[in-house]
């Protein structure tokens, strides 16, 4: 059977960097839920017309795909609208993610990278769950420096994140990403070796 490693962490925790390090270490298939969402938002897919019906035609770009920024402005500060969006998007994303995971060959290891890995119910499909963490101060600094957000915007994004502490007991590995890239690489390499050793032979 194929083996799946779930990778999660809140915004600006460095989850993407951990994913790149896993690719260096020889992961067979890497599926990023954010990338899947981007693909499902493209013109010609089923989600754009459904989202335009729910949120208005102004959330579409000139090609008929979803304008993520326009959509984000509608849902970001509106929990009810955000729940409405998630009710439409999550089932489509879940179906596509599971399709890709099922396509793995029996001897392959796939990584499923998703911010809401646990909340969306993917953890039971995974043979291990890694959670990437860092301090709120580091998250804030990264959002401002690497994503060009104002401090106010960055703090709002952080406040909208689900608390990480409740998820930590579900982790088979916790990757602390407040230090150097070398320190991160060491943690990932060691955790990867432990994960592979835990798999049935």
CATH number at residue 83: 3.40.50.300
* Same domain? 96 vs 121: no
Place of tokens 């432990």: 194
* Same domain? 83 vs 159: no
Of 58, 80, 77, the residue nearest 67 (C-alpha): 58
* Same domain? 169 vs 189: yes
Continuous segment of H or E residues that includes residue 176: strand 173-176
- The SS3 assignment for 31 reads strand
* Same domain? 13 vs 60: no
Supply the pLDDT for residue 159: 87
The pTM assigned to this predicted structure is 0.89
Supply the pLDDT for residue 1: 65
Domain that holds residue 153: 1-28+106-196
How far is residue 86's CA from residue 97's CA, in Å, rounded to a whole number? 15
* Same domain? 82 vs 40: yes
C-alpha count within 13 angstroms, C-beta hemisphere, residue 80: 1
Say if residues 128 and 122 touch (Cβ distance below 8 Å).
no
Residues counted in the chain: 201
Supply the pLDDT for residue 45: 95
Mean pLDDT by 10 residues, the chain (201 residues): 91 93 94 94 96 96 95 89 93 91 90 91 93 94 90 88 89 96 97 95 75
């Amino acid at each position: 059977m194929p083996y799946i490693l779930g990778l999660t962490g809140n915004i600006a925790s460095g989850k993407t960097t951990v994913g790149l390090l896993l690719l260096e270490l020889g992961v067979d298939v890497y599926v990023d839920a954010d990338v899947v969402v981007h693909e499902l938002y493209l013109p010609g897919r089923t989600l754009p017309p459904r989202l335009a019906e729910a949120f208005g035609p102004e959330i579409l770009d000139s090609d008929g795909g979803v304008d993520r920024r326009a959509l984000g402005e509608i849902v970001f500060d509106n929990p009810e609208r955000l729940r409405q969006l998630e009710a439409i998007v999550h089932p489509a994303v879940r179906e596509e993610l599971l399709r890709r995971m099922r396509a793995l060959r029996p001897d392959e290891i796939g990584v499923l990278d998703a911010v809401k890995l646990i909340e969306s119910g993917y953890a039971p499909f995974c043979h291990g769950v890694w959670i990437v963490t860092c301090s709120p101060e580091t998250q804030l600094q990264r959002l401002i420096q690497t994503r060009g957000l104002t401090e106010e915007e960055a703090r709002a994004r952080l406040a909208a994140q689900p608390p990480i502490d409740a998820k930590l007991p579900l982790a088979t590995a916790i990757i602390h990403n407040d230090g150097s890239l070398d320190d991160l690489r060491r943690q990932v390499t060691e955790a990867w070796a432990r994960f592979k050793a835990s798999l049935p032979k």
